[in-house]
Amino acid sequence: MVVSRHLNYIRKHLNKLVEKTSGEVHSVANQLAKDIHEEIEAFKVAYADSLNLTVDKLDPLVRGWLEKINQRVEHLEKKIDKVALVWPDFALNTSLSVPFMGNYPKVTRWSPKYVFGKENAIIHFHGIFPLDSNPKLRIQDKVIEPYEHINTQISFSIPKELYAEVKSPRFIKGELRLTERSQVISCISSRLTFKTTLVAFPEFAGKLSILTHEQEKPETVNLRWGETIIRGVKPNKWKICFDAYNNSHYEFIGTTLNNPILEVSDLKDRVKIFVKGPRMELLHLRHVVDQVSILKEPEQKTPPTKAPPPPVPPTKTSPPLVLPTKAPPPVPQIHPFRAALGHLPHQIQSNHFQSSGQKIPAAIKKSYPYLYKEHIHKKSTQEVRIAPAHKAIAIYKSGKWRFYWLGPPSSAIVEKKGGFQKAFDAFKPKYLEMARKPYIASRL
């Protein structure tokens, strides 16, 4: 998904979260959502040239900031749900004990809203449910009786047959039916119906392939929602490919990266993969990238040559005509270092470098430990400027500006005494030269 569309979706999701709150909870949620909106604006200003990129093309530092915004939204959603778990039941129990509040059936919420797997799902409805309200849940052609019923909660067991075989997310609509009895004449009653919607996800989040240099064939694992696996690997000698349930494809190579479905952590000699739970935002997500192996040079295919036209038959006045055949154009070789850098914008200005003073962002320390230890974390370092979308960092130390790539370990691209602009002018041609080089194998 393009970054700008993803941010717009987050904004709409925030507004919906706030709309479903009320009272004191609403004022707190509204303020937290406002803070996240302001952070989104700051992100758009800082990385305006990255808004039209897809998430997989972002620099790890930029992607890390975007992931933090996602985590803040998830945190707000959990906060709202947590408050809703405590406050409504307290309020409802209180209302049941107050005579003038009445004892009419009502639904305030239900959870969970997502079902998957080969086992029956337990769904809890919260609200006011008098013990004589005779609740029944109708889904498709099935009528389900509650297995638990108290004044503030009804629980149902949803048959797995309704969702166990789904291949892609789909909505399951139902009705909770309750009986409302007259407060004056008990023999008079009426039926109340509350519409419900569940989202069914496939049992598996996707298929994971783990490849190392020593393996001829990758290990393949089907991952369930909420599952965690750990595998032993050699540092910087592994690669993970993940094909999600929605035909999305992700690749992780020797670094700590997250995506909307997985959290992949590089633990040097081990790699940890955690599968997040299904969420509403996944219904709008589809992410497909080219598969480019950085463990070895990609095999290049030579385009087929066209057969030359037949020669012109000889005549008495002219010799036989033989047309020369042209050799096919050479296929450009993609160097692993260039492939590791990924997408580089074809324009760069000095103001793309944002100064962080002497304070180094945690994402730089975590994602580029060699660069941090060998070049940044020095007593002589006086200032650091970073251009995350351009995969470049400038360090001023020992009286010189030094430019490095945010990528695999390498030496300085440029070292220059004097001001930053002078050093940047020397760096810019080298950057543009690298940006023009191909980094993905051509599809012939």
DSSP characters for 5-48? HHHHHHHHHHHHHHHT--HHHHHHHHHHHHHHHHHHHHHHHHTG
In this prediction, residue 404 has a pLDDT band, given cuts at 50, 70 and 90, of very high
Weakest mean pLDDT among 32-36, 59-63, 161-165, 299-303: 299-303
| pLDDT over 90 (residue 424) | yes
Is the model's pLDDT at 151 over the cut of 60? yes
**Spatial distance between the Cα atoms of 442 and 298, rounded to a whole number of angstroms:** 11
> What pLDDT does 136 receive?
92
Query: What is the C-alpha to C-alpha distance for residues 440 and 239, in angstroms, rounded to an integer?
Result: 17
Residue 285's pLDDT is: 57
Average pLDDT over residues 425-444: 77
pLDDT of residue 101: 41
Residue 98's pLDDT is: 40
Mean of the pLDDT values across residues 119-141? 86
Long-range contact pairs involving 209-215 (C-beta distance under 8 Å, separation at least 24):
209/240, 209/241, 209/242, 209/243, 210/238, 210/239, 210/240, 210/271, 211/238, 211/239, 211/240, 211/241, 211/295, 212/237, 212/238, 212/239, 213/237, 213/295
Lowest-confidence pick of 57-71, 331-345, 416-430: 331-345
- The pLDDT score that the predictor gives to residue 229 is 87
Closest CA to 410 of 334, 333, 332, 341: 341
Return the minimum-mean-pLDDT range out of 117-126, 136-145, 253-262. 253-262
The pLDDT of residue 102 is 46
Neighbours of 354 (CB within 10 A): 12
Q: Is the pLDDT of residue 387 over 70?
A: yes
User: Dihedrals φ, ψ of 352, to 5°?
Assistant: -70, -20
pLDDT(418) > 50: yes
Lowest-pLDDT range of 36-40, 225-229, 253-257: 253-257
Whether pLDDT at 86 is above 50: no
Predicted confidence (pLDDT) at residue 288 exceeds the cutoff of 80: no
Q: How far apart are CA 178 and CA 391, in angstroms?
A: 60
pLDDT at 24 over 60: no
Specify the pLDDT at position 428.
94
Does an H or E element contain 297, and which? none
Return the pLDDT at 332.
56
Are 96 and 41 a contacting pair, CB within 8 Å? Answer: no
pTM for the full model? 0.43
Burial of 394 from C-beta contacts in 10 A (0-12 / 13-18 / 19+): buried
Task: Over range 243-263, report the average pLDDT.
Answer: 73
Mean pLDDT computed over every residue of the chain? 76
pLDDT score recorded for residue 294: 30
Q: 91-95, 108-112, 150-154, 315-319 — which is least confidently predicted?
A: 91-95
- How many other CB atoms are found less than 10 A from the CB of residue 438? 13
In the predicted model, is pLDDT for residue 248 greater than 90? no
